[in-house]
Amino acid sequence: MTLAALTLTGCSSAALSGGSDELAAKNPLVASASFEMHRESGCGCCVSWADYLRKHGAGVDIIVNENLESFRAGQGVTDDASSCHTALVDGYVVEGHVPVGAIERLLEVKPDAIGIAMPGMPAASPGMGGTEADWEQLEVMLINTDGSLTPWKF
């Protein structure tokens, strides 16, 4: 397994990470969280999603992982849930271009689950384009402890 850590780290303070205090205030649990995002080296949209989290005040460490499929499987993420990057936060997996509202709810509710996912790479998702109104219409899935998926409302 080849892992290469990059020095693309974010601070948990919105001001230090380039985020806005207004965005951080809307999602305080995301703003105070530290994410460890695993991606393959050639994926630019993954960096865009990390920047999106940073704008909301989150700290994000990016790890280039050329064995992402194996890493993902080790976290309990099935092929049905997979996307282009896998983030870890507070004991949960956040798979793909998940909006901060869904992550905020995950961190608030703390379900008995592996995490949440936005399977595939929806064109209007955070880091891929679109607007906040578009993001609210996207389907986010809860990854249950048995690997099955159910809709995650946020």
pLDDT digits (tens, 9 = 90+) for 28-45: 999 999 999 999 999 989
Mean pLDDT score of the chain, rounded to an integer?
88
Angle (CA) 66-68-74 rounded to 5° is 135
Q: What is the pLDDT of residues 31-80, one digit of tens each?
A: 999 999 999 999 989 999 999 999 999 999 999 999 999 999 999 999 99
Q: Quick one: DSSP state of residue 32?
A: T
For strands 34-39 and 85-89, give the pairing: antiparallel
Whether the per-residue pLDDT at 13 is higher than 90: the answer is: no
pTM score, two decimals? 0.85
Question: Is there a contact between 44 and 69 (Cβ–Cβ < 8 Å)?
Answer: no
Q: Cα(90)–Cα(93) distance, rounded to whole angstroms?
A: 9
Query: What is the per-residue pLDDT for 132?
Result: 84
Q: Cα(118)–Cα(95) distance, rounded to whole angstroms?
A: 6
